[in-house]
Structure 1
Amino acid sequence: MNAQVRLVEVTDANRDAVVAVRVRSGQERFVASVERSFLDAREHPEAEPWYRAAYDGDEPVGFVMLSWNLTPGPGLLGPYFLWRLLIGAPHQGRGYGTAILDQVVDLLRADGATELLTSCVPGDGSPQPFYLRYGFVPTGETDEDGEVVLRLDLGC
């Protein structure tokens, strides 16, 4: 499928619909909910959270949250860190994750970013194979939660 995705700011008008986007049962251990993401963003403003809902037409199909151009420090990887990427259960496997990352990468390059970091829990059902197929490579490091840190080179 050629996923047609647009990144949309989350507002009071669409917040409930975006929060309702949920991953498949069993995937919760690999990616936190949209609601948890909003809480994390509020609790950690020093992480420079930037988030958007991913829409196909009028329907929210996913969510993405990054740390945007932060100063790295203890517990803060960056300057650009993919904090959350989730695709709603009925929309998985249809190219939305790749389409979202393509748009994020374009935005980051326009902002002058040279790399994007992320982390993930390894294991059966982990998003790690998706990230590796996209082009992320393991850095050899783990974060404070024991997640594997991955890096995507944004050089042109």
Structure 2
Amino acid sequence: MTGPMELVEITGENRDAVCALRVRPGQERFVASVARSLEDAAATPEAEPWYRAVYTGGEPAGFVMLSWNVPPGRSGLLGPYFLWRLLIDARHQGRGLGRAVLAHVAGLVRADGGTELLTSHHPADDGPGPFYEKLGFRPTGEIDHGEVVVRLVL
């Protein structure tokens, strides 16, 4: 990382710069763009979307979005805390930024009373599965829309 990592609210001033972030070629099939993520958040208020731009060195370097403390019983939603999107710009990958974001988010969830953080990923050889496994996420045995559901116990 080129400086400390911070999570920053997305505003009219930084929206275009955050939406311009892109993963490496070939990774697009694993994570939606920031613009698509913001559209999904607006279209799915029942998922309790919470999102932030990831900054390092004073510039946008990524995006993270969770379902934040979803009340039990909402059909079709995993939770209460579900990592919905994690995107690190291609220029900032491989420097520990994704790990730093997840550690920070896990701390926020724990402080909010959460006992686990769920996410899901495509079960492809070149997908993000090993990344999540290294961070302590373990399969729950569930499959959601063709993706493997994994859990990090907090």
Shorter-chain TM-score tier: over 0.9
- C-alpha distance in 2 between matches for 1:8 and 1:66: 14
**Alignment match, 1:4:** 4
CA contact (8 A) 1:118 1:151 kept: yes
- C-alpha distance in 2 between matches for 1:3 and 1:96: 10
The percent of aligned pairs where both chains have the same amino acid is: 67
Q: CA deviation at 1:80?
A: 0.2
**Alignment match, 1:139:** 140
Residue pairs, 1:114-153, within 5 angstroms: 114-143=115-144, 145-153=145-153
Q: CA deviation at 1:59?
A: 1.0
Q: CA deviation at 1:67?
A: 0.1
Q: Which amino acid aligns with 1:83?
A: W
- C-alpha distance in 2 between matches for 1:53 and 1:25: 21
CA contact (8 A) 2:64 2:87 kept: yes
**Alignment match, 2:23:** 23
Unaligned runs of 5+ in 1: none
**Alignment match, 1:89:** 90
**Alignment match, 1:71:** 71
Unaligned runs of 5+ in 2: none
* Structure 1 runs (4+) greater than 3 angstroms displaced: none
CA contact (8 A) 1:6 1:54 kept: yes
Residue pairs, 1:51-66, within 5 angstroms: 51-66=51-66
- C-alpha distance in 1 between matches for 2:108 and 2:2: 20
Q: CA deviation at 1:58?
A: 1.7
Taking structure 2 as the reference length, the TM-score comes to 0.96
Local SS of the residue matching 2:98: helix
CA contact (8 A) 2:2 2:56 kept: no
**Alignment match, 1:110:** 111
**Alignment length (residue pairs):** 153
- C-alpha distance in 2 between matches for 1:65 and 1:125: 22
Taking structure 1 as the reference length, the TM-score comes to 0.94
CA contact (8 A) 1:81 1:117 kept: yes
- C-alpha distance in 1 between matches for 2:86 and 2:122: 13
- C-alpha distance in 2 between matches for 1:61 and 1:21: 7
CA RMSD of aligned residues (A): 1.2
- C-alpha distance in 2 between matches for 1:28 and 1:3: 26
